[in-house]
Amino acid sequence: MHTIKCNRPCSVASSRAKNLPTHFKLGALPILHSAETALHSAREHGSAPHTRRCGVVRCASEAPAGPHTTVPHHTEVAVLGGRLVVRPITAGEIQAAGVVLTRAFAGSSEAVSLKEVLQDLETQGGAGGAAAATGCFLVARLYPSTSSSGASGSSNVQLPPGQDSRLVATASVSLSAQDMLVRRLPPPNPPPAAAAYISNMAVDPKFRRQGIARALLAACEEVARGAGLREASLHVREADSAARALYDSSGYTVVVKDSWVDTMRHNIRPRLLMKRTL
């Protein structure tokens, strides 16, 4: 993937996104993060990092009462570069999150324009940055460790003006088959209706090899548990062996693979549907 600097001006070109089918828009992007991040995490972190849960918050500002209305307010975990905080997106973070997603997918068959991503994030986020009652869009912010050595690179983290942290990763957690992100998926091999569905997981390549992908995955699973769900599922490209290694080591197993006919019919790369019991 390409280097991402979230604090630069967001001037990403539209390129091919206008001609992409609907399922290439934000809700259908497969699990994505740096292959090197995934491989390093799988090798260096045999289990999910210790996570602290801090309170609960509604996924939507006006979500009705029910089994899918509360998620952990935020999770915190120590990573190589400092302290990582994962929580639902706020309105003020939509631009930075859009840049992470857009540049992460740039040059791939899933490329979309920044304008489209921002529109979808606004739709998901709504007033106050809450997601729909059926799911949450999460962001991960890195608070650099002031005592870190230059070897880890954390002491050279460029922070946005006036901020003490940087948005370095995103992920979506759908808590219902009726969630917009699930409904946008290509028809073949949908996720189990009773399982949480994880997608739009993108890590800024400048912060790879710090355990962020694994920490973000664990936070997504905590959201599912907080909503009362007992399974999590995701799609991953079949060719992405490094990402598959991360999910294998996190307890995910392959449920089904896209057939050659499906990939041709729906113009998609071959994917694997994976799931795990929480």
Give pLDDT tens digits for 64-107.
334 444 555 688 888 888 899 999 998 889 999 999 988 777 77
Question: Is pLDDT of 243 > 50?
Answer: yes
Domain of residue 28, residue span: 21-230
Instruction: Identify whether 213 is part of a domain.
Output: yes
Average pLDDT over residues 134-138: 88
Question: Is pLDDT of 27 > 70?
Answer: no
Over pLDDT 70: what percentage of the chain? 65
Instruction: Identify whether 90 is part of a domain.
Output: yes
Sequence-distant (≥ 6) Cβ neighbours of residue 177 within 8 angstroms:
183, 190, 191, 193
Instruction: Identify whether 240 is part of a domain.
Output: no
CATH number of the domain within which 118 lies? 3.40.630
Instruction: Identify whether 102 is part of a domain.
Output: yes
Give the model's pLDDT for residue 25. Answer: 45
Give the model's pLDDT for residue 147. Answer: 58
- Nearest-angstrom CA–CA distance, 159 and 165: 6
- Nearest-angstrom CA–CA distance, 144 and 150: 12
Confidence of residue 264 (pLDDT cuts 50, 70, 90): very high
Instruction: Identify whether 248 is part of a domain.
Output: no
In tens, the pLDDT along 184-226 reads: 899 999 999 999 999 988 888 888 778 899 999 999 999 999 9
Domain count, the chain: 1
Instruction: Identify whether 91 is part of a domain.
Output: yes
Helix axes 241-249, 35-44, angle to 10 degrees: 30
Instruction: Identify whether 236 is part of a domain.
Output: no
Instruction: Identify whether 38 is part of a domain.
Output: yes
